[in-house]
Amino acid sequence: MGKIIIEPVTRIEGHLKIEAVVENGKVKDARSSGMMFRGLEIILQGRDPRDAQRYTQRICGVCPTSHSTAATLNLDSAFGISDKIPDNGRIMRNLILGAAHIADHILHFYHLAALDYVDITAVAKYDGNDPVLNSVKAFAERGELGPFVPRYEGDYRLSKAANIEALAHYVKALEMRRKGQELTTIFGGKLPHDSVIVPGGVAEVPTVDKIASFLWQLNELRDFINNVYLPDVMMVAEAYSDYFGIGAGCGNLLSYGSFDLDGKSPDLARRERFMKQGTVSADLKLGQLDTQKIMEYVKYSWYEDSTSRKHPASGETRPDLKKKAGYSWIKAPRYDGKVYEVGPLARVAVTYASGNPTVKALVDSTLSRFKASPKALFSVLGRHAARALYTKALADSMPAWLLQLKPGEPAYIDYQIPEQSTGMGLIDGARGALGHWVEIKDKKIANYQCVVPSTWNLSPRDDNEQPGPVEQAIIGTKVKDENNPFEIVRIVRSFDPCIACAVHLITPKGSELGRFRVS
């Protein structure tokens, strides 16, 4: 029996450690460990509530827009104005978040996950005249492989021509991701960390020029999604079709939904959204979202045991680094006591089970192409396919939202900060269900809790000994070579992990300048 330790897992956001015990070529047990303490919740205590949508964006440099949206929905809720946001504000929030999701998913497939399936060494044999590919070839010949290594060597199956074409798309995707970021800033002001999504609406006004500029750039991205991104995902799926049967995971999916189509209901679990709220089981049976069923456990997390089994609204962040049973800084959120996966697969599956005709057509045609049953969605390739199909559905819907904007009409309402209140903000970020909860006392933040998508997916065991979603997806996987466990990292990256970032102060030579404890 051998033990594989991958630390850190590269080409993800943040510092993740994976341990897998292998017996007779199959993973018998697995552990997922988040190795950094964030503590933003502690930093927020005692601050003006309106700091939340600014500070929580610093949780992550890749998906700050999701945090600004969740924090703002949270404060709208606490200030009692959730159902009063002007339509211009609601729609611009959708467009800013949608643009960020498009950029994020292009980044994930090409620059984080695709190198698990594309052999970049094929460029060494390129003999054409494409200046970009010749530049990459010269780059590689100088031994400058930084963006592509370190990596495990996979069982690369694409032809030489397909590998070279995919590498050209890798470079093109850098430009497309930049365009996605620029698209986000048309109404969002800047990136990272937008400056306009605020309680009461959006601190921006729609103009004809901005609407035209947004539509022009969005259509460029739609062309890339339809003619490059989706075909590349399908090409990988055809070559690696066995990965429709690998990395199934826990079989339970949870979505908070995203993109408010109507802002009249203050209940975020019920209001009309483009991507739907709910749960689905392995047989795609739809369940209604009940936020009171969310609970966090910390038996195996480095937090005091007294903070376990708490709803996020009353959650606490009290670290205990010396805890012997702990093996992760990530808590273990559970829904109705069960393990749930979140992410693009979850929101596509929930929206599919809800009967959305656009999403049903996209999913059914993909399953038909591969002669697969819905069970194939619960897999490594199911997650990649769902992410790409979602990106297409989202990008195709955004022009209609854009044309609903009304220049000259308000995008913001004023409000008063209450002496005491509580709030909840729910949204599906690019990587899945994201929840913020706040308690306000004396017009200050008394308690703030964030349960981010990777808290769900990368969670350790809970108090009932249930492994987290990624741990369950790895257990049972066949590993051909324990020294080159590419099968495991393919599973992990299909979840698009986003382990919270931390700030480090180092000299250029890498020596430590100091350590700081936040208490």
Catalytic amino acids? 13, 60, 63, 67, 431, 454, 498, 501
For residue 140, the one-letter residue type is A
Query: Do the strands 278-280 and 2-6 form a parallel or antiparallel pair, or are they unpaired?
Result: unpaired
Buried (b) or exposed (e) across 241-250, using 16+ Cβ within 10 A? Answer: eebbebbbbb
HSE-CB of 76 using CA atoms within 13 angstroms: 30
Choose among 386, 116, 384, 379: nearest CA to 246. 379
Please report where in the chains the tokens 């780059």 appear, as a residue.
Answer: 139
Structure tokens at 26: 């199959």
C-beta of residue 45 within 8 angstroms of C-beta of residue 147:
no
Distances (CA, A) of 349 to 248, 253, 278, 279, 374: 14, 8, 10, 9, 9
Write the DSSP string, 51-77.
GHHHHGGGG-SS-HHHHHHHHHHHHHH
- What whole-number distance in Å separates Cα of residue 131 and Cα of residue 145? 18
- Cβ atoms within 10 Å, residue 111: 15
Residue 262 burial (CB count, 10 A): 11
Distance CA 381, CA 201 (A): 38
- Amino acid at residue number 350: V
CA 22/CA 3 separation, integer angstroms = 6
Bridge partners of residue 427, in order along the sequence: 434
Q: Where are the beta strands (DSSP E) in 226-376?
A: 253-255, 258-260, 273-275, 278-280, 286-287, 294-297, 332-335
Determine the number of helices (DSSP H) and then strands (DSSP E) in the chain: 14, 15
Phi, psi of 135 (to 5 degrees): -70, -45
Helix (H, G, I), strand (E, B) or coil at 66: helix
Q: Quote the tokens at residue 394.
A: 């989202």
